[in-house]
Structure 1
Amino acid sequence: MNKFHICFSLSAYGTLRSVFRNQNLLQTESIICIEDDFSVGPLHQLETATGMNERIEWIHSFFKQVEPISNEDLTTIKAYLLRNLTLPSQIPDASSVILWHGQNASDSIGIRYVVSMLQDKNLSFEAIDITAFSVNCDYKVRNIDGNEVSYVWKSAGALPPKLVMDAYQVKKNMSASLVQSLILEWEKWSQSDSTLRVYKQGEVLEVSEDYYDASLLEHASNKFQKAARVIGTVMGESDQCIGDTYLTYRVHELIKQGLLQYQGELMPLRRLEIRLK
């Protein structure tokens, strides 16, 4: 039986590919990356060319608001998003699909998108929940005081390479009823008009676009500091997986609202400094 591993970030893809190459698994098992952040932006009919092109237009407009981006980069973004629509043609019938995911909004919606896209194929599904795996193995890191503390991975991209094969051994079968429920849940998300989503207590919730504003303002100060530092702190302390691009967008919005003052240049981020106004 053909085996196809599906992950939802380039970091996860790179880790899996490196480990699988060292284990000589790439000869018999394939890795596919669904490269998108499903927590941000429109999801409306994303399983169709029309819906995907609408998302591409939104992403193009969004990126241009927050960072310098070349036409070449925009073309690349469009290419990998359109490639997601070809997923059914990449996986033959009677294959096994293993979904590597964490407990975060993007991955949670991503697995629903994937099983919906593949629902007409004769496939078996298994899942590897990296967040649950890190809890079960009681993974620890050292804090700034040098003490060992438990650490939970929110995404597959955070999985250390040395533990990839251990995580692979605890994959779980996805029943037909579970797969069907995920397909139905995707149909709900496919009709959603929300822009931002978060993961709370085992489910994905729609939230307002200003969801992270309070945290950004909390970590800003009365003295100018690098905006990248504020954004990095918010990312590190948040219980969500959120990218710096979206937080940069919110910093720009807070500047427009008069809640933050800036010096330097709005773009690129490294030249932007902010303080409370």
Structure 2
Amino acid sequence: MKIEKLKKIIKDLREEEAKSLLLYILYRVNLLKETKYSENEFIDDLRRIYTMIFDVNEQSERNKEGTFRNVHILFGASPAGSLKVALKDMGVTKGENIISFWDVFSIGPVWRLHEEAGKELRFEWIRKNINNEYDEFHEYKQRFQKTMNEILTIPEGVPVTIWTAENSHEQTGLRFVLHLLKDRNHDIFVINTTKVYRKLFNHRKVKYTVLHSGEIPPEKLQLIYEHSKNKPPLSQHERDDLEKEWCTLAENREELRLWGNGKIHSVSVDYYDPYIIIMAKKLHHEMVAQEFMKSARLIGQVLGHLDQYVGDEFLEYRLRKLIEKGIFEVKGNLKAMRFYSVRLVNF
């Protein structure tokens, strides 16, 4: 029975994969409350998720066989899941291999990340600074190495499609992957989801800027893929330029990167600290004087106003640093943002 197969697939899911599916669902619940996204669209998306769970298992079995004619590389769990659904709807999952870095490359060191010393430096930064509420750090390291190995063992001659939006996370990932594939015999195609989304879906009355590829639902990702099919691969000159940009990034020790004017800019890790304080002051004005605010509320407020993709975990790390400096008082347990509240000391 299908239900028995479903139980087995769910049981075999890694915790990170299960949480990704949950996030996918809750994101759409939020869309129901805050946008014109309809209940019928929500039900359709739930059906897609149901299909995707079986597709993830089938994809895993195909990858074990190592027989594929095209490789897709993405950055983040959410866009990988959406692409699996899109390919399934297109009826082209056979021979399509999906590889995804479950990481945020806009934050943390990328100094010589293509070498063991660089990887260990990044792992240690993540371990020390990003809250590990669910004890996922060991799995994160394993998954990172596994993804690198999958990229390095792509069979010669297989075309590679790299999906990236206009943010420092995916653009850094693009340059990193191109360096890993340096001197390899692959046609490499790049799909800029921000640009294609703008071209296909932004109209005079409705304009939306895609911050990262994970924001794009499967049905639109499918149209983006179909639109991009006839685009030529990167020229050797284009590859060389992007690989050189990686070499520059890989010699920089800054721990935060932003995207602007078509370039990645490395900045100080405390770049957003003043903005966190400004947003805290605004929230204090809306509340009873000297009242503690939930840290998740403050972080959500900051995240909602940023035009960069850095993730809530990074902002929570910076909030803890501001607590250490005595700028915020804290009430609760710092193990995770949902467990504590803060208020400015000199508000």
How does the TM-score come out when normalised to structure 2?
Answer: 0.73
Instruction: Name the structure 2 match of 1:124.
Output: 187
Q: Deviations over 1:160-199 (max 9, x none)?
A: 1111121012323322211111111111111111111111
Contact 1:227–1:272 (8 Å) recurs in 2: yes
After the TM superposition, list the runs of 4 or more consecutive aligned residues in structure 1 that deviate by more than 4 angstroms.
none
The equivalent position to 1:32 in structure 2, one of 99, 111, 119, is 99
2:116 is the alignment partner of 1:53: no
Instruction: Name the structure 2 match of 1:205.
Output: 265
Q: Which amino acid aligns with 2:305?
A: E
Instruction: Name the structure 2 match of 1:143.
Output: none
Point out the structure with the larger helix share. 2
The equivalent position to 1:179 in structure 2, one of 213, 216, 239, is 239
3-state DSSP of counterpart to 1:5: strand
Shift of 1:79: 0.3
Q: Deviations over 1:210-250 (max 9, x none)?
A: 11112211221253211101111111110000111111111
Distance 1:95 1:8 in 2: 20
Distance 1:233 1:46 in 2: 32
2:174 is the alignment partner of 1:107: no
Distance 1:84 1:54 in 2: 18
Shift of 1:209: 1.3
Size of the aligned set, in residue pairs, is 266
Q: Which amino acid aligns with 2:260?
A: K
Q: Percent identity, aligned pairs only? A: 29
The equivalent position to 1:159 in structure 2, one of 216, 227, 231, is 216
Distance 2:181 2:276 in 1: 39
Question: What 5-or-longer segments of structure 1 have no aligned partner?
Answer: 141-147
Q: Deviations over 1:21-78 (max 9, x none)?
A: 2322221211110222111111122112232122212211222xx34342xx221011
Q: Which amino acid aligns with 1:191?
A: E
Shift of 1:136: 1.4
Instruction: Name the structure 2 match of 1:242.
Output: 310
The equivalent position to 1:195 in structure 2, one of 255, 274, 281, is 255
2:146 is the alignment partner of 1:83: yes
**Closer, same or farther: CA 115–96 of 1 in aligned 2, 3 Å:** same
Contact 1:102–1:154 (8 Å) recurs in 2: yes
- Larger RCO, structure (CA 8 Å, separation 6 or more): 1
2:225 is the alignment partner of 1:168: yes
How does the TM-score come out when normalised to structure 1?
Answer: 0.90
The equivalent position to 1:16 in structure 2, one of 66, 70, 83, is 83
3-state DSSP of counterpart to 1:33: strand
Distance 2:238 2:218 in 1: 29
The alignment's C-alpha RMSD in Å is 1.8
Distance 1:271 1:175 in 2: 50
Q: Which amino acid aligns with 1:150?
A: K
Distance 1:170 1:138 in 2: 12
Question: Quick check: 160-169 or 45-54, which moved more?
Answer: 45-54
Question: What 5-or-longer segments of structure 2 have no aligned partner?
Answer: 1-67, 285-289
Distance 2:177 2:336 in 1: 34
Contact 1:101–1:130 (8 Å) recurs in 2: yes
Distance 1:159 1:8 in 2: 13
Contact 2:259–2:308 (8 Å) recurs in 1: yes
Shift of 1:98: 0.8
Distance 2:137 2:332 in 1: 26
Distance 2:89 2:153 in 1: 24
Instruction: Name the structure 2 match of 1:275.
Output: 343
Instruction: Name the structure 1 match of 2:274.
Output: 214
Instruction: Name the structure 2 match of 1:92.
Output: 155
The equivalent position to 2:322 in structure 1, one of 254, 257, 263, is 254
